[in-house]
Amino acid sequence: MADHPDSPAPAASAAGAQAPASLGAHSVIYLLGTALQGLGVLLVLPFATRLLGQVEYGKVATALVVVQMIGTVAAAGLPQVILREYHRGDDGPTAGRALAGTMVGLAVALGVLGVALGAVLSAMGRVDLGHWSLVVVASAALTTVVAGQSLSRARLKPFHFLLLAVASTVVAHLSGLVAAQGNRSSQTYLTAYAVALVVAAVLALVVGRPL
């Protein structure tokens, strides 16, 4: 019978078998993935500003900052806890998956509550429900991606981590840029960006298997 991906013995043996050179290469890949996520907005800034104009891109930039902030709050510091707990004893992998599953649950709850709140505020004329919903969906999707990345890192799968980083940053922003070629508006950009993040979130569930 095939070993479960979270079986403690293979995980421990895999960790012990890593040569220093391999661990160094892994660190570089993790650093690259983290840098891509942090610098994603800066990479597309000159292209998006030229395409959308300062006013429309200002709306996009504000939305992206909110997405990052909400995603950070929704993660509730769990990524570091996952990394610590995953390698703590025989039950570590199970605990790590449970914590990652909790992150996904928080993301879903965030999405439901966020859209509901947006509907109320929209009825009061306070917000644009379409724009609000895109920010909420993108935030929930990003939180799910981070859950998958946390498990990938705990399992010493750097290329899975990098794949999710590229999908949630480079691919997501490029999707926004391509979509905005036809309709140069912040709504179009954010719609394509949010859809790409949802796809990345599904990929995170497949790769990370937090549930």
Question: pLDDT for 123-154, tens place per residue?
Answer: 999 989 999 999 999 999 999 999 999 999 88
Domain boundaries, the chain: 35-208
pLDDT of residue 22: 63
Nearest in space to 171 (alpha carbons), one of 152, 145, 136, 148: 145
- pLDDT mean over 101-125: 93
pLDDT of residue 89: 84
Reduced 3-state DSSP string for 104-169: HHHHHHHHHHHHHHHHHHHHCCCCCHHHHHHHHHHHHHHHHHHHHHHHHHHCCCHHHHHHHHHHHH
pLDDT grade for 197, boundaries at 50, 70 and 90: very high
d(C-alpha 38, C-alpha 41), whole Å: 8
